[in-house]
Amino acid sequence: MSPNSGTDIGTAARAGSAARRVPAVMVLAGLALAPFVLGSYAVGTLSRILVLALLAMSVNLLTGLTGLATLGQSAYFGVGAYTAAIVARKLTDVGVVQLLAAAAVSALVATATGWLAVRARGVVFLMLTLAIGEIVYSAAVNWKSLTNGTDGMSGIPPVVPLPGMPALELDGLVYFYVLAVFLVLFAMVAHLAGTPFALALRGIRDNEDRMRAIGYPTRRYALTVYGGAGALAGAAGALWVSVQRFVSPGDAGFEIAALALLAAVIGGSGRIWGACAGAALVWLTRDYLGNLEVVDGHGKLLLGALFVTAVYTLPRGLTGIRVPRGLRSVAWPSRKRTA
């Protein structure tokens, strides 16, 4: 299965996969060549977009694939970021170790908190995840002995991807590290999308009662994907620390969660590349337009406007999920694509 065929197996997507490989190769080539063309700031922005794309993929696993809208993935992103920062400062500057530690701790926290969250569905799930996010944020602010409070943690050494490799000081080299990890994780998520496990998750999204009736322990499935999405968000948090070399409570904050959800919504349901494109659009809006003279300091206003516009103009964003099965192959190809 090619990485860009998304989670949407068994529909029109497969027929068009050969034709769609061309843009995927072009995007890949563009990503690989970007540091040779772009300036240092733009390359840093691209790294951040890749990190946000991973976070949006994590949101998409829950929201798009399983139908559990979440506003709490910033919590596990933050847990991963702080874990990676602490490992980097106290233990080792090897990137892979930081990534694995961040993913493991985030998965653990996600499983513990998810045990509560997956008892709910719909809006209550959204509320619970929002509350989990806020609690992790306030823990990041108040647990000063561990997190250094609102001052954040600086002095994080440059990342060494694998043992024996040199430390990456330049933005361009860090970018390649982020890109490599991104591609590995993207491939993993794309592979997951083709498994029976993912099909069962889609079943939960479309009709949980029926899934339960035919014997699937749906809550355990939901908890498993919640833990996995937490691990993915944690890995994204570790990459974030490698890029920023700084971590503060804001990285676990509400705005990150909202950005990730928006990226997943704009990207459309269930499609992995859609979440990545959404992440790029959201971050560019925030970063570039927000820096223009006209909107000086009004990034939040712009973001809000983007939210409102997205809801009214992209009705197929996430609600395409609710299209009945029989209609899906008709409805999906006409969906508006954001890229």
Which positions touch other proteins (CB under 8 A)? Answer: 63, 69, 71, 113, 116, 119-120, 122-124, 126-128, 130-132, 134-135, 138-139, 141-143, 254, 258, 261-262, 265, 298, 300-301, 303-308, 310-312, 315, 317-319, 322
Smallest separation (angstroms) from other proteins to the CB of 177: 32
Question: What is the closest distance, in whole angstroms, from the C-beta atom of residue 91 to other proteins in the complex?
Answer: 25
Q: How far is the CB of 119 from other proteins (least distance, A)?
A: 6
Q: What are the backbone dihedrals phi and psi of residue 153, each rounded to the nearest 5 degrees, phi first?
A: -115, 120
Residue 40 or 138: the one with the smaller Cβ distance to other proteins is 138
Rounded to a whole number of angstroms, the minimum distance from the CB of residue 308 to other proteins is 4
DSSP 94: B
Closer CB to other proteins, residue 24 or residue 141?
141
Closer CB to other proteins, residue 20 or residue 335? 335
Minimum CB distance to other proteins smaller for 31 or for 289: 289
Q: How far is the CB of 141 from other proteins (least distance, A)?
A: 8
**Of 123 and 327, which has the nearer Cβ to other proteins?**
123
Query: What is the closest distance, in whole angstroms, from the C-beta atom of residue 253 to other proteins in the complex?
Result: 9
Integer CA distances (angstroms), 85 to 168, 238, 239, 300, in order: 16, 8, 10, 27
CA dihedral over 17, 181, 188, 81, signed as positive or negative: negative
Choice between 109 and 243, CB closer to other proteins: 109
Count Cβ neighbours within 10 Å for each residue of 163-181 and write b for 16 or more, e otherwise: eeeeebeebbbbbbbbbeb
Tell me how far, at minimum, the Cβ of 50 lies from other proteins, in Å. Answer: 23
Q: Check: CB of residue 85 under 8 Å from CB of residue 55.
A: no
CB 236 within 8 A of CB 60: no
Q: 309-329 burial, b if ≥16 CB within 10 A, otherwise e?
A: ebeeebebbbebbebeeeebe
Copy the structure tokens of residue 236. Answer: 């994204």
Minimum CB distance to other proteins smaller for 50 or for 257:
257
Taking a C-beta distance cutoff of 8 angstroms, is the pair 246, 106 a contact?
no
Q: Are 80 and 234 in contact (CB under 8 A)?
A: yes
Residues 105, 112 contacting (CB under 8 angstroms) = no
Burial class, 252, CB count within 10 angstroms (exposed 0-12 / middle 13-18 / buried 19+) = buried
Closest distance to other proteins from the beta carbon of 113 (Å): 8
Q: What residue has token string 């922005």?
A: 45
| For other proteins, the closer CB: 44 or 133 | 133
- Phi/psi of residue 335, nearest 5 degrees: -65, 140
DSSP structure string for 39-59: -HHHHHHHHHHHHHHHHHHHH
Q: Which helix (H) or strand (E) holds 193?
A: helix 171-193
Distance in Å, CB of 316 to other proteins, minimum: 10
DSSP type of residue 159: P
Nearer to other proteins by Cβ, of 195 and 319: the residue is 319
